[in-house]
Chains A and B, each alone.
Chain A
Amino acid sequence: MVIANEFDYQRPSTLADVTRMLAEHPGSARILAGGTDLVAWLRDDAIAPDLVVDIKNITGIHDLKVEGSALRIGALVTFSDLIESEVIAAHAPLLAEMAETVASQGIRNRATMVGNICSAVPSCDAGPVLLAYDTTVHLVGPSGARSVDINDWFVGLRKTARTDDEVVTHLTIALRPHGGVYVKLMRYAGEDLAQAAVGIVAYPDDDYRVTFGAVAPTPIRSTRIEDALHGKPLTESAVAEVVAMVRDEISPITDIRASAEYRTRMTEVMLERGLWAASERLAGRGPAYGDRLI
């Protein structure tokens, strides 16, 4: 549908200008990066802002590099950037695996990972993976910069810790040797939103992070499952034990896309296959990143 509601558009060149504009239009300004969510919402008449603030001219927020012992990923880094990056391939191929499941090339060339966790729909692909990593979200607002731990980022259905007058500048991810997996249940092999998703990062010494997507209002972590796996080598019975916990850890809905029961059953399957894959990858073996497990 043509965009029926009109709005003003600004493309500032500094972060200070961005936060000022957001503060001047409390609740009625929207940040535009890749636009694959925002422009769709404008077309659907789902939102009617007075002002759209395009941040693509801001310098310093498109980094994708190692800084010390962390990976720094700027707000404007697209999913294609992640897939094509040698830095990602070397340090966090799990991000590329996840990025490849997002939509299609033409969307990934524009859509940003930071935008994905700011829209924060329950099925956002970056959510479970960033939640499984030690990720910090960095923002600036009128009163300066602050950081939010990813575990405090998703606060409710489509709600994040960002206030209306703040803009995310970059993410940092603590780098350690690891194996990871992002398993995504789709309705077919082509493009789809996650119907359920599992994110796993396996660190040395049987240290796991286990997250779920699209089966709760936000991406969630299961510390209960992580604790049950911690410090023990991965065995069939250990896996079976945590698979049996899935049902109590997640709260999927039944909607036109899938039933709650199917989502639950498939999350169990994804966790089982994912745990083996993640631990194999930690050991330098296992399926190649990008191979689908389901």
Chain B
Amino acid sequence: MTDTFLFEAEAKDEGLKTVGTSATRIDGLDKISGAAQFVDDIDFGPGLLHAAIVESPYAYARILSIDTSAAEAASGVVRVATGKDFPYKFGMYMEDRYIFAQDHVRFVGEQVAGVVARTHREAVQAAKLIAVEYEVLKPLLDPKEAVAEGADLIHPDLDGYVHVPWFFPKAGTNIAHWRKIRKGDTEKAFAEADYVLEDTYRVPRYAHCAIEPHVTVSKLDYADRLTVWTASQSPHTQRHLFAEALAPLGFAHKDVRVITPYVGGGFGGKAGVSMEIIGAAMATLVKGRPVKLRFTREQEFINTYQRQGVVAELKVGVKSDGEITAVEHKLYWDAGAYVEYGANVVNAAGLSASGPYRVPNITNDSICIYTNLPPGGPYRGFGYSEFHFGLESHMDRIAEAIGMDAVEFRRKNAIVEGDELAYGAHMNPSGMIEAIDKTAAAIDWGVEETSANPNTVIGKGIALFWKAPAMPPNSSSASFLKFNEDGSINITVSGMELGQGYLTVMAQIAGEVLSVPVNKIRVETPDTDRNPYEWQTVASHVTWSSGLAVEKAAIEARAKIFDVIHQVYGYEDDSLYLEDEKVKCKTDPTFAKPLREFVINGIQTEDGTWRGGPIVASGKFMPEFTNANSDPETGQCGHPNVHYTVGATGVVLEIDKQTGRVWVRKAALAVDAGRAINPDLVNGQITGGLVQGLATVLYEDMRFDDGGKMLNPTFTDYKIPTAFDIPDEVIPIIVEVPQPDGPFGARGVGEHTMIGAAPVIANAVYNALGVRITSMPITQEKIAMAVIQKSKT
């Protein structure tokens, strides 16, 4: 950790002008005026071709034949493609995936063939004419079935798959990865515990449901340059994966350009590569013509990443005074047909599944299991929402069993700075106790409330959360920065504006260092030819990582500015400072040189010659303290996670005893942002993430039939919240215990705000009705039927 940033972090009380303010978003005007351009809005002229794909109706089948002759002869068709055209594997962390299915299809919806035609209608009509013959096989739809003795192997060649060194697939099984933590001696600790609780929790799959569907336009020009316009969270990673996947066709990174404008919501679903490779590959078959592939809402549901389901077997032991002594957490992940990205979700969860607690004895087994269901992948929370449901439900149950208040139980055990983590490293500075106390106060914890309505009861619940960014140890960010004649700034980065306000936060960081107001700073959306590298906009890490890169670029620009001033006027660098877009001098109060006078053209000296010229700068950040050395059998001795963000969620619910209808009267959420660079935007993540989290537990209910087909791939039947389905009152609480190596002390919060929602509802439902529901979702129906069931016993 470098000291430059400690300096900035310590500037907390020195009158920050831009950082810490709720500046108006720099993309706000674009978005409310209709100016904001998304990929599907870009015009490519009358030559634009349209792609449609043919999907497998079976969850598991051998492809016997594909007859494309009728499609090839159909009106408007330019090209038809199948797996034969692209017999290459690709993948983010493991290469187990195909551009078009090869010999087998492994989930309902997997792409088998594609048509490129002159109009969208002709493409769709021609796709219907492609005849595929299958030999249907029996699918594996449950992770525990898929790991049972003698189960069919969904990936028989698993042993030969290329993968990152920190994954441990088990050859001859459907286990693609197994992350283990063995710390201390849980067997002994359980034997000596005063109370032990063991139970199983079930969390099904979920869909991201960004309102903008996935869409790409790809063009291989006559100079053999492939450009892909894509709604992606990860332009550089996409470029990398395209280049790798298409390397057999002769592509290298320099031959591929990815351009990403605004993205209409990502939530993880637009990270990595899912459908984009299909469009890019088909474009290579129609040189010189742009090809658009836009997914329908149904395709969004079934053929882009889903959030994995999990069966969680949890055992926790405590002393009678409430001290947690042991956690044993076994996570069986329904990871889907291809786990090239999703296996890292399993990995991340395995490292942290003992939760935000001080626990001396831990046995975690996080098992990534192939199933014949859509590929699991990154989803806001990255495995943490999934295991927190069981964990935080369990902690409430234990507190009750030993006669301890649920909040007191959390306070006693909450992880604090310096505590040893499951893998041996130590916890960063964080304000968990403050988060717990403020959340509990916000919902009047301890005060029982009765409802005025005879049909309803009121319950309260609390749940903690934590998460660390799940990234390779060398994930990096970079930034370019330049001034313009009017003293305005252009910053180029490859982080993505998904809605979280990333562009604005980068502007605020640079603006603070350079004393330039945010409305004079433009941060442009990426083009991999022009914008420097960013690993991906995931993991809630870009405020921290890209923020550091931008801060460094701004500091470099500032140094260059001071250098020019020093050259011309002789003032020492350490006597100079920036204020109100001018260079000023501590030792000469009369000196105030406006930036705009020289940041392009330099300063003329006494002899008529010039010094300076355009102020341009760059910054990069890559953590130098992380590694993936965690032992495969124990998980110890590595430093896989940069830091954790912590927080707490509390709710007050009113529930109709007969119908099970839940009103969230009040929801409080405290998250330790380190430093809220823009409080409005942090509040936006709190409210938005909370509502998305509540949706997973109260409304969203993905159903499959026993052939592995998703039965509700529409918003009609997969219910995401409307304006009526939100808490009556959300109380956002920003805690600020600085992250020492963060820009102005900031760390990420984007995913964390979802994580406590599911267990806090389970806990409040129990508090209100005395029914403990250990599977998600906890819908009206489930509550009503559980109440009826309870009244019978």
Tell which of A2, A4, A188, A257 touches B721, judged by Cβ atoms closer than 8 Å: A188
A189 adjacent to B128 (CB under 8 Å): no
Given the interface contacts A2-B120, A256-B717, A266-B784, does A190 sit within 8 Å of B723 by beta carbon? Answer: yes
B408 within 8 A of A: no
Given the interface contacts A1-B296, A188-B699, A189-B725, does A256 sit within 8 Å of B712 by beta carbon? Answer: yes
Chain A interface extent, by class: 20 to 34
Query: In the bound complex, how far is the Cα of B711 from the Cα of A189, in angstroms?
Result: 22
A47 within 8 A of B: no
B721 adjacent to A190 (CB under 8 Å): yes
B781 within 8 A of A: yes
B658 adjacent to A269 (CB under 8 Å): yes
A84 within 8 A of B: no
B699 adjacent to A2 (CB under 8 Å): no
A24 within 8 A of B: no
Q: Which residue of A lies closest to B710 (CB)?
A: A256
Contact with B along A45-86 (1 / 0, CB 8 A): 000000000000000000000000000000000000000000
Q: Which residue of B lies closest to A262 (CB)?
A: B781
Given the interface contacts A1-B296, A262-B785, A265-B784, does A188 sit within 8 Å of B698 by beta carbon? Answer: yes
A258 within 8 A of B: yes
Contact with A along B122-136 (1 / 0, CB 8 A): 001100100000000
Contact with A along B93-129 (1 / 0, CB 8 A): 0000000000000000000000000001100110010
Query: In the bound complex, how far is the Cα of B783 from the Cα of A262, in angstroms?
Result: 10
B780 adjacent to A187 (CB under 8 Å): yes
Contact with A along B656-670 (1 / 0, CB 8 A): 101101000000000
Tell which of A187, A265, A269 touches B699, judged by Cβ atoms closer than 8 Å: A187
A241 within 8 A of B: no
B125 adjacent to A4 (CB under 8 Å): yes
Given the interface contacts A187-B719, A189-B724, A261-B785, does A294 sit within 8 Å of B711 by beta carbon? Answer: no
A190 adjacent to B784 (CB under 8 Å): no
B121 adjacent to A2 (CB under 8 Å): yes
B124 adjacent to A1 (CB under 8 Å): yes
Contacts of B296 in A (CB 8 A): 1
A190 adjacent to B722 (CB under 8 Å): yes
Query: In the bound complex, how far is the Cα of B725 from the Cα of A187, in angstroms?
Result: 10
**A30 to B: closest C-beta gap in Å:** 19
Query: In the bound complex, how far is the Cα of B725 from the Cα of A192, in angstroms?
Result: 12
Contacts of B658 in A (CB 8 A): 265-266, 269, 294
**A125 to B: closest C-beta gap in Å:** 14
A190 adjacent to B724 (CB under 8 Å): yes
**B70 to A: closest C-beta gap in Å:** 15
Query: In the bound complex, how far is the Cα of B720 from the Cα of A187, in angstroms?
Result: 11
**B665 to A: closest C-beta gap in Å:** 13
Query: In the bound complex, how far is the Cα of B716 from the Cα of A191, in angstroms?
Result: 8
A13 within 8 A of B: no
Contacts of A190 in B (CB 8 A): 719, 721-725
Contacts of B120 in A (CB 8 A): 2
Q: Which residue of A lies closest to B695 (CB)?
A: A188
Contacts of A4 in B (CB 8 A): 121, 124-125, 128
Query: In the bound complex, how far is the Cα of B719 from the Cα of A265, in angstroms?
Result: 22
B661 adjacent to A294 (CB under 8 Å): yes
Given the interface contacts A2-B120, A188-B721, A262-B785, does A269 sit within 8 Å of B659 by beta carbon? Answer: yes
B66 within 8 A of A: no
B397 within 8 A of A: no
Contacts of B725 in A (CB 8 A): 188-190
A188 adjacent to B781 (CB under 8 Å): no
Q: Which residue of A lies closest to B127 (CB)?
A: A4
A242 within 8 A of B: no
A259 within 8 A of B: yes
A294 adjacent to B656 (CB under 8 Å): yes
Tell which of A192, A261, A294 touches B719, judged by Cβ atoms closer than 8 Å: A192
Contacts of B716 in A (CB 8 A): 193
**B50 to A: closest C-beta gap in Å:** 9
B289 within 8 A of A: no
Contacts of B698 in A (CB 8 A): 188
**B360 to A: closest C-beta gap in Å:** 43
Query: In the bound complex, how far is the Cα of B717 from the Cα of A69, in angstroms?
Result: 41
Tell which of A1, A2, A3, A262 touches B784, judged by Cβ atoms closer than 8 Å: A262
B476 within 8 A of A: no
Query: In the bound complex, how far is the Cα of B129 from the Cα of A4, in angstroms?
Result: 12
B788 within 8 A of A: yes
B703 within 8 A of A: yes
B779 within 8 A of A: yes
Query: In the bound complex, how far is the Cα of B127 from the Cα of A2, in angstroms?
Result: 13
Contacts of A189 in B (CB 8 A): 722, 724-725
Contacting residues of chain B (702-733) with chain A, CB-CB under 8 angstroms? 703, 711-712, 716-717, 719, 721-725
Contacting residues of chain B (239-284) with chain A, CB-CB under 8 angstroms? none
B703 adjacent to A259 (CB under 8 Å): no
B124 adjacent to A2 (CB under 8 Å): yes
Given the interface contacts A2-B124, A4-B124, A269-B659, does A258 sit within 8 Å of B724 by beta carbon? Answer: no
**A96 to B: closest C-beta gap in Å:** 18
Q: Which residue of A lies closest to B661 (CB)?
A: A294
Query: In the bound complex, how far is the Cα of B711 from the Cα of A150, in angstroms?
Result: 34
Contacts of A294 in B (CB 8 A): 656, 658-659, 661
Q: Which residue of A lies closest to B703 (CB)?
A: A256
Query: In the bound complex, how far is the Cα of B723 from the Cα of A188, in angstroms?
Result: 11
Contacts of B722 in A (CB 8 A): 188-191
Q: Which residue of B lies closest to A185 (CB)?
A: B659
Query: In the bound complex, how far is the Cα of B208 from the Cα of A284, in angstroms?
Result: 47
Query: In the bound complex, how far is the Cα of B656 from the Cα of A4, in angstroms?
Result: 46
Query: In the bound complex, how far is the Cα of B701 from the Cα of A190, in angstroms?
Result: 16
Query: In the bound complex, how far is the Cα of B124 from the Cα of A188, in angstroms?
Result: 35
Query: In the bound complex, how far is the Cα of B121 from the Cα of A123, in angstroms?
Result: 32
By CB atoms of chain B within 10 A, which of A3, A189, A259 has the most? A189
* 9 closest cross-chain pairs (CB), A and B: A190-B722, A189-B724, A262-B781, A256-B703, A190-B724, A269-B658, A256-B711, A4-B124, A188-B725
Q: List 15 A-B contacts (CB under 8 A).
A: A4-B128, A187-B719, A187-B779, A188-B722, A188-B780, A189-B724, A190-B721, A190-B725, A191-B722, A256-B701, A259-B781, A262-B781, A265-B784, A294-B658, A294-B661
User: Measuring CB to CB, which residues of chain B are less than 8 angstroms from any residue of chain A?
Assistant: 120-121, 124-125, 128, 296, 298, 656, 658-659, 661, 698-699, 701, 703, 711-712, 716-717, 719, 721-725, 779-781, 784-785, 788
Known: A187-B719, A257-B717, A262-B781. 6 other contacts (CB 8 A): A3-B121, A189-B725, A190-B725, A192-B719, A262-B784, A266-B659
